[in-house]
Chains A and B, each alone.
Chain A
């Protein structure tokens, strides 16, 4: 299983290492550094790197490479999943997962890693159980610990671990009982030059924040469950019930968790909420190029498109861009050739536009590549697939919980070709 873990920062330094079995020398990372050097972009490092005696499996998140060392045949997805889980846990504990945060909390980091993996085998990876074992650092606790010399390690063994519902601890008590669900959908799409959709799909998740006393048993039903034909559930969901009745029935973990993720790929169900009109052109022999971009709403079911951010990697030959936005601000980095335009809201009456000229290197030939435009946006109170929660019921406990549901649509990898 997983032998060791090295954390490597963006400048290629190992700033943390953890070994679960024997100590593997740092020099094993040289193979990783070689691959890093070969890669043109930081994200292009291949995830699995063979070395004479080990395999290195790495993930890149928050500009930190998490490099796991394995010695025998281990499913790589197993390792990759675990590494992502480690990152999620760090983020959960420290708010952010940066080199600084990890270094500040190095004791907790080691405690967590020690609990998450036992002799290379995953042990406690559920955030609920982990939080019982190791208390997340708070300012107060840090102060207390510094004075008393105690640690964050919990006094008791987690109760959930050996029960039938390992994801929930027993004896949970709240004065305010509440259950919130967020339906968040991300649209991944490729739009071609003429504005027609090449591919579009929706990655949806239902994230929950459940703070309920005791052992509540919840059921969640949807108005249109047929949309959900490709789903992955949190282990708490009773799959049989879903198969039979299309109802989500579960005893929730305590706190934040992802109840469900789903995927809508059939194209007629995916509405595209924005359109882009663009004219990026270069003339042969001229050192100037034209740049015109206009955004507009489309299929938004009456909701406003917000937090719009447009970015585009302009061709290498472009020296500078001189543009005028009708709203928001734009920046152009002449080194990376990255153009980004913070648009803000799209007002259907006054469409935002960015127009102007680009200057090319004198004498350079017309660029071959067509820049593609990346768009980010948010739409509140809308799940673009049309998914709607019908009702949420609670059994097993007597009190009346406070229930809430929120919808949001975001752009995932939304790209427009020019």
Chain B
């Protein structure tokens, strides 16, 4: 019983409730009595009744029957009564959910009506600092869940009140107030300075969360101070000691502090530039602290302190923890790249470490030495001999790839480079992609440097990469090299052995815009994860992206440029690799596994004597720009066929990107048959848009050529097309490229490249394709001088010739053909007759080759020509065919054998189509 009264008291009800009289009612009809009292007109009586109800509730009596009556009592302006009802509600809400919802609605109404929020806002100006702090906390919490409500409108008056309360409220309250202050944008630098001055004492607080919140406010407002102000320098000096002090706290605090310091040193390295030593790792630091400290050490490394840093790093490299040792070794390499004067010392330190022969140390060292070579080319190659000694111990892909890169890059100085690379080649297919790509490049480099001895090697690697590999990246790169080498070795040399751009000094810097946002979130989870809050915090919908506000320029333009340097405009250059880098990456240096997926382009293997890199190229390209549906090497192919990395910088050398386009075109007769467009979606069905189209396979890329005609009165914009699941996984490889609006009665032709990596579902008939087309109709109404838009979606249906899916490398080996033909059971064989064809066998062969039906052998028996042909589909199905033609009889006989007999019918259609046209 006493406990119950305690409970009420702890809830802060205030009144002197020593009396246990509320618990004493034992009469019959108690509930009834209470009910009457609850509905009484007298306020006092009501309150007493609710207290009795709650007393009964706390001793476990069921008073849920009184729910409606108690809830009715809520509509009062007596705060105490309201709280009591609230207690009751909390207890019974679960057992009476419907009633509870009603009650909650009443609460909401009360909140809206009585303006509790306004009261809360007024409380910010309360004289008790504790009240202010709690009001701020409450408002911040509400504001978080209602991003659009402008609850905390901060103005100089409220800011002033907050700053006053800051000095007097509890530590936790200070955190709320400081976090709230950080959202304010001062009007000018004087206000900014005065806020900073009043926040600075918080840096000496014992609570580290207060300190870090204060640091956040200062970091943010500092941005608005003129740099030549004395106060600016003072402030910078004041920021260092508290940050250092945070590092002597418990490890968990240190960790959060270090993550934030990492941001701070990126933004303003000057603050901690003299404090390197506090980041030295103690051997009993937890690993998460060690790794963070190491990161900051590298960021702070400069010519002045590099000797110390290196000595430390070398010490760490002999520690027990493998992860830490690896990171320490890597750090030495980063120092070499960052501080040029120290490079030599770093290299010799790394060599010392390699001598230890500790496996992971050696591998890590080789990876970083590769980076050092990139930064200082032709400077430290004397160490290569030492590196080569450790070739056999490398078992991690990254280290192997790095070593191979080094061998390739310095092939002319390594006598046995060919032997070394050959040793890697043995297990080519077991290597990771990273190593395979690197090995391919290295051998090509070696070949270009020492062509005489290594011809065999290069052929071996090219065939391994192009023929035996199913990795599209590797294959593509193999083809590029192959063609480059076979057409113009001089150009190949220029491309492959081009001077590489130097790598940038600082790696893994946070992108400047993100850094600015994170600086505004110092001390939060975002700062620990180095991700914007919107990226991971649940319930932070509508989190506004905070930005640092640069100083409002008051005439001093010199300052502005200074500020600008930290702004986003200039910074991307450091982060987004330049074009040159891309080229370098593609050809030499993608030590990281490629992340882009390239739609598989499978060019033919016939190396025509084409002038691939010469002037003919431009002409060829220029001529095709017209975009007629029958062009040989469609320009539209480019975006689909080029890897995404190139897509970002289409201007890379001109020739390189084009190589992709042209590759497929080689050896392809230009006149391959494309059926005329047919109407797929009549205007009647699609609210005025007529879609007609056809399919073509050009340069190994499947294309859908569409003509869109606007037969409606409204302008159409924003076209898009989507395919339903189909038998061969056809899907658009890119968006529909229609940039201009389509006016009434206008027709537009567009080519859409397709890929075969979409979702697959067997269709009836097999080659049926259903698609959905969407466009937006814009109606202009003259009366209102306004436009209306409505979106129209239409379903269309079309059938594509199977020849679309005949790939360029569908030529089967003779022996394989024979074996396969025998292997396929005869029930899978279908016979077709193609009537009235007047072609000789050579012409037929040529025509069929145009759609990738390859003739493997020809036999002439008794005036009958027999052509044995093979076709491969994009999904890997092989189709074998025998075409019999008699010189006297215009009717051809076609036998088709395939493991998937359902395609035979469509193969036959292709034969007929192409032979007739």
Chain A residues with a Cβ under 8 A of chain B: 1, 39-41, 43-44, 46-48, 50, 53, 55, 57-61, 71-78, 80-82, 84, 121-122, 125-126, 150-151, 153, 157, 161-162, 164, 166, 188, 190, 192, 198-199, 201, 203, 229-235, 239-240, 243, 258, 261, 263, 265, 267, 313, 316, 368-370, 372, 374, 413, 415, 417
Contact = CB atoms under 8 A, between A and B. Distances in A.
A95 B128 CA distance: 35
21 contacts: A40-B321, A43-B286, A71-B538, A72-B538, A76-B523, A77-B523, A121-B137, A164-B168, A190-B280, A199-B277, A199-B278, A230-B242, A233-B206, A261-B245, A263-B241, A368-B318, A369-B318, A369-B320, A413-B282, A413-B284, A417-B315
B344 to A, nearest CB: 22
Contact of B172 (A122, A198, A240, A265): A122
Question: Taking each of B204, B280, B286, B321, which has the highest tally of chain A beta carbons within 10 Å of its own beta carbon?
Answer: B204
Nearest to B175: A78
A60 B286 CA distance: 11
Contacts of B2: 150
A153 B250 CA distance: 31
A164 B127 CA distance: 10
Contacts of A415: 282-284
Given A75-B175, A121-B137, A47 B256 contact: yes
B255 to A, nearest CB: 5
B250 A78 contact: no
B839 interface: no
Considering the complex of A and B, which 3 residue pairs feature the smallest CB-CB distances, nearest first? A230-B241, A77-B209, A47-B252
A73 B278 contact: no
Contact of A80 (B256, B308, B315, B533): B256
B276 to A, nearest CB: 9
B886 to A, nearest CB: 72
A54 to B, nearest CB: 8
Contacts of A47: 251-252, 255-256, 288
Interface in B314-368: 315, 318-321, 356, 358
A166 B144 CA distance: 29
Contacts of B253: 77, 80-81, 84
Given A44-B286, A198-B277, A203-B248, A261 B241 contact: no
A72 B251 contact: no
B143 to A, nearest CB: 12
Interface in B494-536: 523-526, 528-529, 533, 536
B531 to A, nearest CB: 10
Question: Taking each of B170, B175, B538, which has the highest tally of chain A beta carbons within 10 Å of its own beta carbon?
Answer: B170
A322 B477 CA distance: 63
A240 B168 CA distance: 13
B286 A75 contact: no
A234 B206 CA distance: 6
Given A75-B523, A77-B212, A84-B253, 5 more contacts: A47-B251, A50-B536, A75-B213, A125-B170, A243-B201
Contact of A73 (B171, B286, B288, B525): B525
Interface string B221-253: 000000000000000000001101100101111
Contacts of B540: 72-73
B525 A258 contact: no
Contacts of B159: none
Given A73-B533, A369-B319, A59 B250 contact: yes
Contact of B204 (A151, A166, A233): A233
A84 B533 CA distance: 26
A150 B528 CA distance: 45
Contacts of B3: 151
A44 B250 contact: no
B539 A239 contact: no
A192 B204 CA distance: 32
Question: Taking each of B3, B524, B528, which has the highest tally of chain A beta carbons within 10 Å of its own beta carbon?
Answer: B528
Contacts of B315: 192, 417
The interface residues of chain A, by DSSP majority, are classed as: mixed
Contact of B252 (A50, A80, A233): A80
Given A239-B201, A258-B206, A372-B283, A72 B537 contact: yes
Contacts of A150: 2
The interface residues of chain B, by DSSP majority, are classed as: helix
Contacts, number: 179
A263 B248 contact: yes
A61 B319 CA distance: 25
Contacts of B213: 75
Interface string B540-562: 10010000000000000000000
B901 to A, nearest CB: 49
Interface string B274-306: 010110101110111000000000000000000
Contact of A48 (B205, B257, B312, B528): B528
Given A77-B212, A374-B284, A188 B525 contact: no
B661 interface: no
A180 B108 CA distance: 54
B658 interface: no
Contact of B256 (A48, A61, A126): A48
Contacts of A153: 6, 10
A81 B209 contact: yes
Contacts of B538: 53, 71-72
Contacts of A81: 207-209, 253
A413 B172 CA distance: 30
Nearest to B245: A263
Given A75-B213, A263-B244, A235 B171 contact: yes
Interface string B31-74: 00000000000000000000000000000000000000000000
B417 interface: no
A162 B6 contact: no
B538 to A, nearest CB: 6
A58 to B, nearest CB: 7
B611 to A, nearest CB: 57
A76 B245 contact: no
B425 interface: no
Contacts of B137: 121
Contacts of B10: 153
B666 interface: no
B715 interface: no
B179 interface: yes
Contacts of B277: 198-199, 265, 267
B544 to A, nearest CB: 13
Nearest to B356: A368
A232 B245 contact: yes
B244 A76 contact: no
A189 B51 CA distance: 63
A234 B524 CA distance: 24
Contact of B539 (A39, A44, A71, A125): A71
A232 B211 contact: yes
B668 interface: no
Contacts of A166: 130, 170
A415 B280 CA distance: 12
Contacts of A369: 318-320
Interface string B866-903: 00000000000000000000000000000000000000
Given A72-B144, A75-B179, A265 B212 contact: no
B250 A232 contact: no
